[in-house]
Structure 1
C-alpha cells in the first residue's frame, strides 16, 4: 500500500485535462511620425487588418475594414476588435488567435494597439502570446509579419531610432562613430546585436544570416553589420574587452557605457560561429534574448497596453452610456454581465501571468545561484593555481605592463586583474578623465591591491595591511571614521580601506585616494571610488 498522496491521486490526474498556460513571448512599442497622425494610424490599422484576414480562415466582417469594433468567431481563429473613443483619446485594439500549424493545443495570440492622443504622434504597440499545455516551451521568437508592413509603410520609431527591416551596415570610421553614439545613448531601449566581418570586401557574415535575423527581431532588437575598419574604431574606443571584431558577434544591451561590465554584454567568438549548427544556436539565443529584453524593458499600462484593459474600458463606457440613456434593466443587466465576464477573464489571465513570472523568477534565481557558486569555485581554483606558480618561484604579475593613459586603465583592469579586483561604476566614472595625472602610479596601486593585499585578506591578515607602504610616499590605511557604505552587484558593502599619498594634500592634481573593501564571498577587491579625495561632510 502506497503512502504517497501523489501516487493515490495519479489515476485521477491522468484523466484530468492538461493545464493550459498563457506565456508572453515578446512586446513591441513605438511611435509613428507624421503631420497627419490620424491618417498614419489608419494606415497602420489597415496593415494589421490585412494580416489578420490572411490568418482568420474566413472573411472578416465589414466593420473590420471600417475601423469599427467587431467580433469574429471561427473555431480557434477568433478575432476581437475594440475601437474606443473617449474624451480626447482614440484607441483601436485587436486580439487575434491562430492555432499552431505543427504543435497540437498550442495557440498563438497577437494583440495590437494603435492610439491617438492630442498633439502627439500615433502610438503603436503589440504583444505576442502563446497558450499551451507544454511544460517545457521551446520556441524561437519572431515578431509578427505586420510589424514589417508597419515599418515599411508608416515608419516606426523605438525611442529616437527609426526601425529598419534590413541590418544596418557600418563600414567607415564615421559610420562607427554613429554606432558608438547609439550604443552609449542612455535613452536606447533595444539591444543591438553587432555582427562583424573578418575580412574586408565581404558582404555578409559567412555563417550568420543577418538579414533573416533582423527580420525576426524587428521591433525588439537592432542588427548591425560591422566591417573591419568600423570594428577597429569600436576597439579603439572601448578596448578589446568591450568591443567585437574578427567575425565575432556581441549583444549590447541598453545601458551600455564606457564603464559597463563587459561580461553583461555577451560576446560570441568567431570560433563559436564556425559551423551552420553553431550559427543556428547563436541565432536562437539572440532571438530569445531580444524577446526577453522586450518584456523586461517595456511596462504594461505605460509603453504597451493590453487588449483586456481597453476591452474593459469600452464595456465600462457602454454601461455608463446605458445608465445615462435610462436604458431598460435587461439591457443594463446584459452590459453588466458582459463586463463581469470580461473582468473574470482578465483576472484569470493575470493569475496565469503571475504564475509565469514566478516560474521565470525561480529559474533565474536558480541560475544566479549556480553562476555564483561556479564563480566562487573558479576563484578558488585560480588562487590555487596562482599559489602553485609562486611556489615554483615565479611571479605571474612580473611582466604586466601598466597603462600609459586613463583611457587604457579600464581595459587593463578587465584584462590583467579580472577575478581579483573589480571597479564599481563610480570608480570607472572617477577614472574617466580625472585631474590627477599619474595613471601609472594608480595602476601600480591597483596591482598591489589585486596581488599582495588580496592574498593577505584571503589568508586573514587584514590587520597587517594597515599603514603599509606600497611605494615611496603612498600608503594603505584604514578609513576609520571616513568609512562609508555603497552598493555593488545587488549587495551592500562598506569601503573601510583606502590607498593615499602623503602630505595630507587635497589638491586634486597631486592627491591620490583609492577607496575599497574586500569581498570574502567572491574573494575580490572592490574599488568603490578613485582617484580623487572623496568629498564628505567634514571636507
Structure 2
C-alpha cells in the first residue's frame, strides 16, 4: 500500500493555517441518522463545489480519489460512528494567487455526542498575500452542517430584548467550552446622539455581521435596557452601551481578566473609523470581520478525541487486526500488518509535519512579537513627547484637569480612562475595591496619580525621586520597600502573575503607605512594582494591609 499522506509530503512552501473549528453536531433525531445525514451533506457539498466531480459512491465507505493532483481520502468506521476526510486541491483557474488548499475533517461519537473538527490550511506557490481569505467552499460546508457550540452556528444574531435573558447570556459567554468570540452590539442612546439629525437604533447591522461571521463568532444584539441589566449583573468594567461594541474572546473570565484583554469600541470610534478605502460603520464592520478571520488563524484548539485520516487509518487497522486474530489465514494477516505499518508511517509523517508547522509559526510569532514591542516602544515615546508638550502648553494646572472619583466602584474605569499606559490595576486589585474599608477613596486616587505621574516620571528620568517623595508627604504618604521576610512563601499575597495569564511571577516590591493603624479605616497600603518592559506601574493590591509572612 502506497502512502497517501500528501499533507506531509515534501513541499517547497509551508502550510499556513487558514481556518479551524471544533463543535458538536446538533441532534435532530437519533445519533445514527444525524451521523448519516452529516456525511450525506458533506458529500453534496463536495460534489457541487470541489473539483472531484460527482461522488457516485458517496463517502459511506473508505475511498481514495485522485484527479490532476487533486486528492480526496476518507475513512469511515460505522460501529464507532467515526468519519474522517482529508483532501487537497488546487485553486480554480483565474485565481490571482496560485495556491493549494488542504482540508482535514473529522466526526466521532463520544459519550452520546457527535463531535466535529475541521481545519483548513493553504500552500502558496509564490509569496503568500498579506491578507488570506478562506475559500468560498468552506462556508458552504459550514452552512450545510448543524454545528453547535452552546448555541447553533446558524449565521443569525441572538436578539436580546428583555433583561430576563441576561443570565443566559452571561452563562454562555463564560462557558469554558466556547472557542469562538462573542460580539455584543448595544443600542444607541437617542438623547445623546449628535452625528446626524436622526439617530439610528444600532450602528452595526447585526444580521449582516452574523451572516458573514458564521463559524467565526457569535453576534448578540442588546436592547437599550438590556445593556444596563448586563452591566448590573456582570460588573461595570464590562459594560457595553450607547452604540458601543464589545468583543469577548474565548476563555472569558469576568473575575480575573482585564477589559483590555478583550475588544471594546465606542460609538465615536466606530462612526469615524477608517479601514482600507472605507470609512464609518461599513469600515468598522469590514475591519471586525478581517480581525475575526486573523484571530481564528491563530487560535489553538484541543483536537483530543478526534481522528484525522492518518490516525483513523491506524485505528481501523487495529480493529481489523483484532477481527483477524482468531483466523489462520496468514496471508491476510500479513497484508493487514503491512496496511497497519503504512498507516503508522503516515501518522508519524503527519506528526513531523505538525511539529514543523508549529515551529515555523512559533518563530513567526516571536518575530512579530519583537516587531510589535519595538513599535509599541516607539509609540510610547511619541505619546510621552506629545503629553509633555500638551502639559507644558496648557494653562490649566494638571491637578485640576483630571477629575477624581469619590467612590471605590468608579476607580477601575477612572484608571482605564486617565492613567492608561502609565498604571495597571491587576484583576486581583480590582476585586479588592468593592470590599475596601479605607475611609478616603479620593486619597487612594490621588496616590495612584502620584504613582502614574511623578513616580513614573522619576523612573523615566523626567523627574526626580525627591520631588515624588515631597509630593507624597504633602498627602501624608510615604513609600516603603517590601522586606524579604514579607515574601516567605511562593504562593503568598506579595507575588503576582504578570503579564496577565502568564506563568511569570513578580514580587510587589514597593508599597505606598499612610498610617500605621491596624484599623483598615485609617490604614492605606498600595502594593506595586515597576515594569521596565512596558514602563508602567503595576498595582497588585489596595487599599488594605497585606499580611506579613515570616515562615
TM-score by length of 2: 0.78
Moved more, 519-528 or 231-240: 231-240
Aligned 1:210-249 pairs, distance under 5 A: 210-231=206-227, 243-249=239-245
1:471-521 Cα distance to aligned partner (Å, 9 max, x none):
66654323333364433225654322212332330x445543210122344
Are residue 257 (structure 1) and residue 254 (structure 2) matched? yes
Aligned 1:160-179 pairs, distance under 5 A: 160-175=150-165, 178-179=168-169
Q: Distance in 2 between matches of 1:472 and 1:342?
A: 71
Q: Distance in 2 between matches of 1:49 and 1:204?
A: 43
Q: 1:454 to 1:498 in 2, by over 3 A?
A: same
TM-score by length of 1: 0.79
Residue matched to 1:270: 270
**Matching residue within 454, 478, 482 for 1:479:** 482
**Matching residue within 115, 126, 142 for 1:147:** 142
SS at match of 2:209: helix
1:123-169 Cα distance to aligned partner (Å, 9 max, x none):
12222222322422322347532322322xxxx432x4443420122
1:63-107 Cα distance to aligned partner (Å, 9 max, x none):
52xx32222333355321111368xx4421122344333426423
1:26-76 Cα distance to aligned partner (Å, 9 max, x none):
211122455833333333233222222223442324352xx3222233335
Q: Distance in 2 between matches of 1:431 and 1:399?
A: 24
Aligned residues: 509
Q: Distance in 1 between matches of 2:274 and 2:458?
A: 44
Q: 1:140 to 1:231 in 2, by over 3 A?
A: farther
Are residue 194 (structure 1) and residue 207 (structure 2) matched? no
1:378-416 Cα distance to aligned partner (Å, 9 max, x none):
453255336525xx7742232433223322111011112
1:173-212 Cα distance to aligned partner (Å, 9 max, x none):
4455654554455654321123345477999856x55434
Q: 1:471 to 1:379 in 2, by over 3 A?
A: same
Residue matched to 1:93: 84
Q: Distance in 1 between matches of 2:421 and 2:84?
A: 51
Q: 1:308 to 1:24 in 2, by over 3 A?
A: farther
Q: 1:221 to 1:308 in 2, by over 3 A?
A: farther
Q: Distance in 2 between matches of 1:409 and 1:303?
A: 45
Q: Any conservation in 1 of the 2:84–2:307 contact (CA below 8 Å)? A: no
Q: CA deviation at 1:122?
A: 1.8
Q: 1:126 to 1:361 in 2, by over 3 A?
A: same
Q: Any conservation in 2 of the 1:214–1:223 contact (CA below 8 Å)? A: yes
**Matching residue within 40, 63, 67 for 1:70:** 63
Aligned 1:344-359 pairs, distance under 5 A: 345-346=349-350, 349-350=353-354, 353-354=357-358, 356-358=360-362
Q: Distance in 1 between matches of 2:388 and 2:101?
A: 52
**Matching residue within 537, 542, 545 for 1:525:** 537
Q: Any conservation in 2 of the 1:94–1:307 contact (CA below 8 Å)? A: yes
Q: Distance in 2 between matches of 1:69 and 1:18?
A: 26
Q: 1:408 to 1:337 in 2, by over 3 A?
A: same
Q: CA deviation at 1:362?
A: 3.9
Query: Could you list the runs of 5+ residues in structure 2 that have no partner in the other structure?
Result: 1-9, 191-197, 488-493
Q: Distance in 1 between matches of 2:309 and 2:294?
A: 20
Q: Any conservation in 2 of the 1:417–1:447 contact (CA below 8 Å)? A: yes
Q: Distance in 2 between matches of 1:125 and 1:220?
A: 14
Query: Could you list the runs of 5+ residues in structure 1 that have no partner in the other structure?
Result: 1-16
Q: CA deviation at 1:526?
A: 1.5
Residue matched to 1:54: 48
1:415-452 Cα distance to aligned partner (Å, 9 max, x none):
12122221112212222444545433322221222233
Q: Any conservation in 2 of the 1:241–1:415 contact (CA below 8 Å)? A: no
Q: 1:186 to 1:443 in 2, by over 3 A?
A: farther
**Matching residue within 364, 377, 384 for 1:380:** 384
Q: 1:125 to 1:226 in 2, by over 3 A?
A: same
Q: 1:472 to 1:107 in 2, by over 3 A?
A: closer
Q: Any conservation in 2 of the 1:477–1:497 contact (CA below 8 Å)? A: yes
Q: 1:187 to 1:358 in 2, by over 3 A?
A: closer
